[in-house]
Amino acid sequence: MLGQVMTDIRTDEHFQRLMALLDLEAEAEKQALLEDLQRHTPAEAEASGSALINLVIRDESAGMGGRILLSLGKRNQVLQLPWTRLNSGTSVVLSEEVPAGFAGDVASWRGVVTRTSRETIQVAFSQWPETETDHPVFRLDRSSDEVSRQRQRQALEKARLAGDSRLAVLRDVLLNRQPPGFHPVEDHPLLNPELNESQAEAVRFALSAADVAIIHGPPGTGKTTTIVELIRQVVRAGQRVLVCAPSNIAVDNLLEKLLASGQDAIRLGHPARVLPELRLHTLDLLVENHPEMKVVQRLMREARVLREQAARYTRARPEPGARRALRDEARQAMADARRIENLVVERYVNGARVICATLTGLDRELLAGQRFDWCVIDEAGQGTEAAAWAPLMFADRVVLAGDHFQLPPTVISSQAVSGGFAISLLERLMKIYGLGLSRRLLVQYRMQREIMEFSSREFYESSLSAHSSVADHLLSDLPGIMANELTSTAVHFIDTAGASYDEALDPDGESRFNPQEARLVASKVQALLDAGLDVSALAVISPYSAQVRLLRQLIKRPEMEIDSVDGFQGREKEAVVVSLVRSNRENEIGFLEDVRRMNVALTRARRKLIVIGDSATITAHPFYQRLVTYFESIGAYHSIWEETGL
Q: What is the pLDDT of residues 512-547, one digit of tens each?
A: 999 999 999 999 999 999 999 999 999 999 999 899
CA dist list (Å): 76 to 57, 187, 321: 12, 67, 34
Which DSSP symbol is given to 97? Answer: -
Mean per-residue pLDDT, 362-371: 88
Mean per-residue pLDDT, 343-370: 90
Burial class (CB in 10 A: 0-12, 13-18, 19+), 429: buried
What are 609's strand-pairing partners? Answer: 491, 576
Q: Cα separation of 503 and 487, whole Å? A: 29
Q: How many other C-beta atoms can be found within 10 angstroms of the C-beta atom of residue 89? A: 16
**pLDDT at position 503 over 90:** yes
Which DSSP symbol is given to 499? Answer: T
Mean per-residue pLDDT, 308-320: 61
Stretch (H or E) spanning 622: helix 622-633
Q: Cα separation of 551 and 513, whole Å? A: 9
Confidence of residue 321 (pLDDT cuts 50, 70, 90): low
**pLDDT at position 153 over 80:** yes
Position with higher pLDDT, 406 vs 64: 406
pLDDT, one tens digit per residue, over 249-297 is 899 999 999 999 999 999 998 787 788 889 899 998 888 888 877 777 7
Confidence of residue 5 (pLDDT cuts 50, 70, 90): very low
Q: Cα separation of 308 and 375, whole Å? A: 46
CB 22 within 8 A of CB 153: yes
Burial class (CB in 10 A: 0-12, 13-18, 19+), 47: middle
Stretch (H or E) spanning 125: strand 120-125
Q: In this predicted structure, what is the pLDDT of residue 1?
A: 33
**pLDDT at position 426 over 80:** yes
**pLDDT at position 7 over 60:** no
User: Among residues of the chain, what percentage have pLDDT more than 70?
Assistant: 93
Mean per-residue pLDDT, 480-487: 96
Q: Cα separation of 500 and 151, whole Å? A: 51
Largest CA distance in the chain: 86
Stretch (H or E) spanning 349: helix 322-351
Helix or strand or coil: residue 505? strand
Q: Cα separation of 326 and 320, whole Å? A: 12
Position with higher pLDDT, 399 vs 5: 399
**pLDDT at position 509 over 80:** no
What are 209's strand-pairing partners? Answer: 182
User: Among residues of the chain, what percentage have pLDDT more than 90?
Assistant: 61
**pLDDT at position 4 over 60:** no
Alpha carbon distance, N-terminus to C-terminus of the chain: 82
Q: Cα separation of 189 and 529, whole Å? A: 46
**pLDDT at position 70 over 50:** yes
Q: In this predicted structure, what is the pLDDT of residue 512?
A: 95
Helix or strand or coil: residue 389? coil
Confidence of residue 3 (pLDDT cuts 50, 70, 90): very low
CB 458 within 8 A of CB 626: yes
- AA letter at 345: V
Position with higher pLDDT, 107 vs 442: 442
Q: In this predicted structure, what is the pLDDT of residue 454?
A: 98
Mean per-residue pLDDT, 555-566: 89
Angle at 28 between CA 22 and CA 32, to 5 degrees: 150
Confidence of residue 9 (pLDDT cuts 50, 70, 90): low
CB 608 within 8 A of CB 487: yes
Q: How many other C-beta atoms can be found within 10 angstroms of the C-beta atom of residue 246? A: 24
Q: Cα separation of 358 and 213, whole Å? A: 20
Mean per-residue pLDDT, 206-230: 97
**pLDDT at position 325 over 50:** yes
Helix ranges, 472-602 (H): 515-530, 545-555, 565-568, 595-602
Sign of CA dihedral 32, 36, 38, 42: negative
Helix or strand or coil: residue 469? coil
Q: In this predicted structure, what is the pLDDT of residue 317?
A: 59
Confidence of residue 359 (pLDDT cuts 50, 70, 90): very high
* Mean pLDDT over each residue of the chain, to the nearest integer: 89
| Alpha-carbon dihedral 468, 471, 477, 483, rounded to 10 degrees | -150
pTM of the model: 0.85
DSSP structure string for 410-446: ----HHHHHTTTTS-HHHHHHHHHGGGSEEE--EESS
CB 109 within 8 A of CB 177: no
CB 489 within 8 A of CB 474: yes
Q: Cα separation of 599 and 9, whole Å? A: 38
Helix or strand or coil: residue 88? coil
**pLDDT at position 511 over 70:** yes
pLDDT, one tens digit per residue, over 156-202 is 999 999 988 999 999 999 999 999 999 998 888 999 999 999 999 99
Mean per-residue pLDDT, 609-631: 98
Q: In this predicted structure, what is the pLDDT of residue 447?
A: 98
Q: In this predicted structure, what is the pLDDT of residue 645?
A: 56
pLDDT, one tens digit per residue, over 370-379 is 999 999 999 9
Residues 6+ apart with CB under 8 A from 604: 539, 541, 568, 571, 572, 573, 576
Confidence of residue 100 (pLDDT cuts 50, 70, 90): low
Q: How many other C-beta atoms can be found within 10 angstroms of the C-beta atom of residue 433? A: 17
Q: Cα separation of 155 and 168, whole Å? A: 12
